[in-house]
Structure 1
Amino acid sequence: MKLSTAELPAALAQVPQWQYRAERGGVIVRQFGFQDFAQAIGFMAQVALVAERSNHHPEWSNVYNRVDVLLTTHDVQGLSLRDIALAQVMDRVAAALALQEGAA
Structure 2
Amino acid sequence: MWKEEDDKLKKNFRFRDFKEAFLFMSEVAKTVDEMDHHPWWSNVYNQVTFELTTHDAGDKVSDKDKKLASAIDTIAEKYR
With normalisation by structure 1, the TM-score equals: 0.73
- Structure 2 residues without counterparts, runs of 5 or longer: none
Q: CA offsets per residue over residues 1-54 of structure 1, 9 Å max, x none?
A: xxxxxxxxxxxxxxxx01111x2xx21100000011011011111011010111
- Measured on the aligned residues, the alpha-carbon RMSD in Å equals 0.7
Question: SS in structure 2 opposite 1:97?
Answer: coil
Structure 1, unmatched stretches of 5+, are 1-16, 99-104
Q: Which has the higher strand share?
A: 2
The one-letter amino acid of 2:45's match is: Y
- Equivalent residues, number: 79
**Larger Rg belongs to:** 1
CA distance in 2, matches of 1:93, 1:34: 12
Percent pairwise identity:
39
Q: Give the 3-state SS of the residue equivalent to 1:88 in structure 2.
A: helix
Match of 1:8 in 2: none
2:47 is the counterpart of 1:66:
yes
Higher helix share: 1
Runs of 4+ in structure 1 over 6 Å off: none
Identify which of 16, 24, 31 aligns with 1:43: 24
